[in-house]
């Protein structure tokens, strides 16, 4: 482990750029990752620590950083793991990190903080340092903007309660969907005790807070390094959406990091991550059930088609829905129709009969050709337009 003295807090921040690569935090997680030179061992740029995120408070330049990049744990995929000898480690005192954030915020470079950390002297001690940092930012610097705070594995109930008073969003990364998968990824983490139980506590605490002051709860999974399947990941996501009011599950396709035990494992295709997000939104926003989705024999979603279309190809192609009679829930099953499109159809139906694709386009269905295989208009299948080329 390399440790050296870097006097200026802003200089120190430049060593945290890898956080942006591994910690999705906004609404477009794939866009948060900087394009990296493949041979670079560690990112060293303040720019890479500042990510433009769509937060619950709008689009913001958010500083993503850590209290320390040293860690006593040895998660097999992580660039900050113990024993990754060439990694420069930097550690902030809460005062210094809060001050650096304040300087950046006053310069207009950032308006939001995502704070994570490696673990030194246990999750409780580390969580205290993170809480102290945010307390200083909130109290001494009177910053009332966006803060996303990570909860450390093993942190205490009262620490989570304090984090939820200070932050707009908290995340507790489960990393994998079962105890066995977590063991294979991160042998010093305890899935049930250190991680899952903390999400349940966070949900309990959240319900005691006044509406409007309830931070959202998110989690992250590392996808595909240890045989985890989409079925496992989505089943747990569904459980958390329903039982712990999880706001969002992030799925990070595994990418091998040099000088880690997983450096020779193949990278997971970004398309798998994309399909997981599509399926996850169906569970969260469209009230789908994971059992309705089609999985291949290996437990993964099809990559060649999105999960909604895969379902519609089986269930609607031979039983198309009559646009004038379908319920909102049924309309939402049609590929190309989302909540806004379904609402527009329901409104338009009150004005008269929808008989052709031009009417669908006029009310806001952006790709009417996409819906053609699955609907009836005026009791008939609409004509399929042949591609021009
Ligand atoms: S706890 Fe694991 S994932 Fe987190 S910084 Fe340490 S080694 Fe990395």
Q: Is 78 in the pocket of ligand 1 (CB under 6 A)?
A: yes
What is the share, in percent, of the chain residues with pLDDT greater than 70? 91
Q: Ligand 1 mean position to 153 CA, how many Å?
A: 10
Q: Is 118 in the pocket of ligand 1 (CB under 6 A)?
A: yes
Question: Is 370's pLDDT higher than 50?
Answer: yes
Please tell me the total number of residues recorded for the chain in this structure. Answer: 389
Substitution site in 186, 250, 257 for ligand 1 pocket (most atoms within 8 Å of beta carbon): 186
Q: Is 154 in the pocket of ligand 1 (CB under 6 A)?
A: no
Q: Whose CA is nearest to atom 4 of ligand 1?
A: 118
Domains of the chain and CATH, by start: 2-213 (no CATH), 316-376 (1.10.150)
Q: Which residue has the tokens 């009150």?
A: 350
pLDDT at 262: 96
Mean pLDDT for all residues in the chain = 90
Q: Ligand 1 mean position to 67 CA, how many Å?
A: 13
CA gap 143, 156 in Å, rounded: 25
Helix (H, G, I), strand (E, B) or coil at 50: strand
pLDDT tens, position by position, 332-369: 999 999 999 999 999 999 998 889 899 999 999 988 88
Q: Is 222 in the pocket of ligand 1 (CB under 6 A)?
A: no
pLDDT at 231: 98
Q: Which atom of ligand 1 is nearest to the CA of 72?
A: 6
Substitution site in 78, 176, 184 for ligand 1 pocket (most atoms within 8 Å of beta carbon): 78
pLDDT at 249: 96
Helix (H) and strand (E) counts in the chain: 15, 11
CA gap 85, 2 in Å, rounded: 7
Q: Ligand 1 mean position to 73 CA, how many Å?
A: 6
What integer is the mean pLDDT of 249-266? 94
pLDDT tens, position by position, 307-319: 999 999 999 999 9
How far CA 268 is from CA of 251, 252, 274, in Å, comes to: 11, 9, 11
Question: Is 62's pLDDT higher than 80?
Answer: yes
pLDDT at 40: 63
Question: Is 35's pLDDT higher than 60?
Answer: no
Q: Whose CA is nearest to atom 1 of ligand 1?
A: 73
Q: Ligand 1 mean position to 214 CA, how many Å?
A: 27
Helix (H, G, I), strand (E, B) or coil at 52: strand
What integer is the mean pLDDT of 142-149? 96
List the beta strands (DSSP E) in 56-162: 58-66, 88-89, 113-116, 147-150
Q: In which band, very low, low, confident or very high, does the pLDDT at 389 lie, cut at 50, 70 and 90?
A: very low
Q: Whose CA is nearest to atom 2 of ligand 1?
A: 75
pLDDT tens, position by position, 74-107: 999 998 999 888 888 889 999 999 999 999 999 9
Q: Is 80 in the pocket of ligand 1 (CB under 6 A)?
A: yes
Contacts of 271 by beta carbon, 8 Å cutoff, 6+ apart: 303
Q: Is 123 in the pocket of ligand 1 (CB under 6 A)?
A: no
CA gap 304, 371 in Å, rounded: 18
Contacts of 334 by beta carbon, 8 Å cutoff, 6+ apart: 312, 316, 321, 326, 371, 374, 375
Q: Which of 86-95, 223-232, 276-285, 296-305 has the lowest mean pLDDT?
A: 86-95
Question: Is 220's pLDDT higher than 80?
Answer: yes
> Which uninterrupted H or E stretch holds 351?
helix 339-351
Strands 58-66 and 50-55: antiparallel
Contacts of 252 by beta carbon, 8 Å cutoff, 6+ apart: 22, 24, 29, 220, 221, 222, 223, 273
Q: Is 119 in the pocket of ligand 1 (CB under 6 A)?
A: yes
Q: In which band, very low, low, confident or very high, does the pLDDT at 202 lie, cut at 50, 70 and 90?
A: very high
Question: Is 133's pLDDT higher than 50?
Answer: yes
pLDDT at 32: 64
Q: Whose CA is nearest to atom 7 of ligand 1?
A: 81
Q: Which atom of ligand 1 is nearest to the CA of 79?
A: 8
- Regarding predicted confidence, which is higher, 52 or 26? 52
Closest CA to 374 of 325, 324, 336: 336
Q: Ligand 1 mean position to 112 CA, how many Å?
A: 23
CA gap 250, 248 in Å, rounded: 6
Q: Ligand 1 mean position to 264 CA, how many Å?
A: 19
| Neighbour count for residue 45 (Cβ, 10 Å) | 14
Q: Is 182 in the pocket of ligand 1 (CB under 6 A)?
A: no
* DSSP code for 192: I
What integer is the mean pLDDT of 316-333? 94
Question: Is 371's pLDDT higher than 90?
Answer: yes
Question: Is 4's pLDDT higher than 60?
Answer: no
């Amino acid at each position: 482990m390399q440790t050296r003295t870097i006097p200026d807090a802003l200089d120190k921040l430049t060593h945290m750029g890898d956080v942006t690569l591994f910690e999705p935090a906004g609404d477009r997680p794939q866009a948060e990752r900087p394009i990296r030179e493949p041979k670079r061992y560690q990112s060293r740029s303040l720019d890479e620590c500042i990510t433009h995120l769509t937060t619950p408070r709008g689009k913001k330049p958010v500083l993503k950083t850590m209290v320390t990049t040293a860690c006593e744990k040895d998660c097999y995929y992580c660039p900050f793991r113990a024993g990754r000898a060439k990694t420069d480690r930097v550690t902030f005192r809460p005062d210094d990190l809060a001050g650096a954030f304040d300087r950046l915020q006053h310069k207009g470079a950032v308006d939001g903080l995502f704070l994570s950390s490696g673990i030194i002297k246990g999750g409780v001690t580390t969580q205290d340092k993170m809480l102290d940092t945010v307390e200083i930012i909130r109290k001494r610097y009177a910053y009332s903007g966006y803060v996303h705070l990570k909860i450390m594995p093993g942190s205490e109930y009262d620490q989570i309660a304090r984090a939820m008073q200070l932050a707009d969003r908290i995340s507790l990364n489960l990393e994998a969907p079962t105890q066995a998968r977590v063991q294979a990824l991160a042998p010093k983490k305890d899935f049930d005790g250190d991680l899952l139980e903390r999400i349940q506590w966070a949900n309990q605490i959240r319900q005691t807070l006044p509406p409007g002051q309830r931070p959202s709860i998110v989690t992250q999974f590392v996808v595909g390094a240890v045989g985890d399947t989409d079925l496992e990941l989505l089943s747990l996501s569904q459980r958390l959406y329903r039982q712990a009011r999880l706001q969002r599950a992030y799925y990070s396709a595994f990418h091998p990091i040099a000088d880690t035990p997983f450096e020779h494992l193949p990278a997971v295709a970004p398309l798998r991550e994309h399909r997981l997000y599509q399926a996850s939104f169906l569970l969260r926003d469209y009230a789908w059930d994971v059992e309705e989705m089609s999985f291949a024999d290996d437990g993964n979603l099809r990559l060649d088609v999105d999960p909604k279309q895969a379902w519609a190809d089986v269930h609607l192609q031979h039983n198309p829905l009559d646009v004038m009679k379908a319920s909102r829930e049924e309309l939402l099953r049609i590929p190309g129709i989302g909540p806004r499109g379904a609402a527009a159809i329901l409104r338009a139906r009150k004005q008269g009969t929808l008989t052709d694709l031009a009417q669908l386009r006029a009310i806001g269905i952006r790709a009417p050709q996409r819906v053609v295989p699955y609907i009836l208009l005026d009791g008939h299948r609409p004509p399929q337009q042949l591609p021009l080329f």
